């Protein structure tokens, strides 16, 4: 039941989504949010048993998202495409961006119907932001979506955010989809990526974590190596300090992972 068609809203495979945990709602539970069901909280509990730093990682990741958006705003970016945006929580991209630039444009994209419905409610009176339900494995559906076309000017720099989401997408889908998305961006655009990395103490938990996520709406949860993560940036040029532990961007650090199993970087398209 993982065909893209059902996720685009044309099938009914997800009708019973409250009994099956979703990656969006597990993450919301880790962050202490309230838009999750008991199945999600159970899964979050099991995840924490295997990966005690999961909550800390989620918070550090959220803080990275915040800094990456500020960085892009400083660089003059006024429109954002946030794919795998998750359930709205404190410090959403439109809040960060529109507090500095009231007419900054933000399009949220997520596969999870609960995430998109909740974002839609929050954005009801916001003319410059919208939420779209789509699967990133089908980038044409995202790029051609009326909400995207209405809000994002393809001739001006765009901040593409793929934050803590690509590890839920298998290689055969993820690489071509990201390549297509990055190719669509005009020069001067930025790409922010954070990603689970498989080089740390978290490796011990890898099988259990993958098994847990196989029972959710995503078919995989795989850390990648730094080299594999770097490939996603394509021809975009990484800003200093490069691809680093998520809590060390952009200040850099001692390179010790601590309990982190997530790396992050921001690149600029020449």
With CB under 6 A as the rule, give the number of residues binding ligand SAM. 23
Nearest distance from C-beta of residue 85 to ligand SAM, angstroms: 5
Give strand pairing partners of 131. Answer: 108
The first and second tokens of residue 60, run together, are 């550090």
CA separation for the pair 31, 186 (Å, rounded): 34
Q: Does 92 bind ligand SAM (CB under 6 A)?
A: no
Q: State which of residues 35, 62, 78, 247 lies at the interface with ligand SAM (CB under 6 A).
A: 62
Q: State which of residues 43, 53, 65, 181 lies at the interface with ligand SAM (CB under 6 A).
A: 65
Q: Which is nearer to ligand SAM, 43 or 136 (CB)?
A: 136
- Are β-strands 244-245 and 190-196 bridged in parallel, bridged antiparallel, or unpaired? unpaired
Q: State which of residues 135, 191, 247, 261 lies at the interface with ligand SAM (CB under 6 A).
A: 135
Q: Does 111 bind ligand SAM (CB under 6 A)?
A: yes
Interface positions, 155-214, toward ligand SAM (CB under 6 A): 163-165, 168-169
Contact status, residue 51 vs residue 61, Cβ threshold 8 Å:
no
Which has the closest alpha carbon to 189: 100, 63, 72, 107? 72
For the CA atoms of 90, 65, 215, 30, the dihedral, rounded to the nearest 10 degrees, stands at -40
The first and second tokens of residue 21, run together, are 């945990």
Give the footprint of ligand SAM on this chain (CB under 6 A).
23-24, 27, 61-62, 65, 83-86, 110-112, 115, 135-137, 163-165, 168-169, 218
């Amino acid at each position: 039941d993982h065909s893209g068609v059902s996720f685009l809203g044309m099938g009914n495979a997800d009708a019973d989504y409250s009994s099956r945990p979703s990656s969006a709602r597990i993450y919301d539970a880790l962050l202490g949010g309230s838009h999750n069901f008991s199945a999600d909280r159970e899964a979050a509990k099991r995840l924490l048993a295997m990966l005690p730093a999961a909550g800390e990682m989620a918070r550090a990741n959220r803080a990275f998202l915040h800094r990456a958006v500020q960085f892009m705003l400083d660089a003059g970016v006024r429109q954002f495409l946030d794919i795998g945006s998750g359930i709205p929580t404190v410090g959403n991209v439109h809040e960060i961006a529109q507090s500095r630039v009231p007419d900054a444009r933000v399009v949220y994209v997520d596969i999870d119907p609960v995430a998109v419905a909740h974002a839609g409610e929050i954005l009801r009176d916001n003319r410059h932001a919208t939420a779209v339900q789509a699967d990133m494995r089908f980038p044409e559906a995202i790029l051609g979506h009326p909400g995207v076309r209405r809000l994002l000017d393809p001739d001006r720099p765009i901040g593409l955010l793929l934050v803590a989401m690509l590890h839920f997408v298998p290689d055969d889908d993820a690489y071509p989809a990201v390549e297509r998305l990055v190719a669509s961006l005009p020069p001067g655009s930025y790409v922010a990526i954070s990603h689970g990395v498989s080089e740390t103490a978290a490796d011990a938990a890898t099988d259990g974590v993958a098994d847990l996520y196989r029972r959710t709406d995503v078919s995989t949860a795989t850390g990648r190596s730094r080299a594999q993560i770097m490939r996603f940036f394509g021809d975009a040029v990484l800003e200093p300090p490069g691809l680093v532990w998520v809590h060390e961007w952009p200040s850099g650090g001692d390179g010790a992972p601590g309990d982190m199993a997530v790396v992050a970087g921001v690149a600029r398209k020449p």
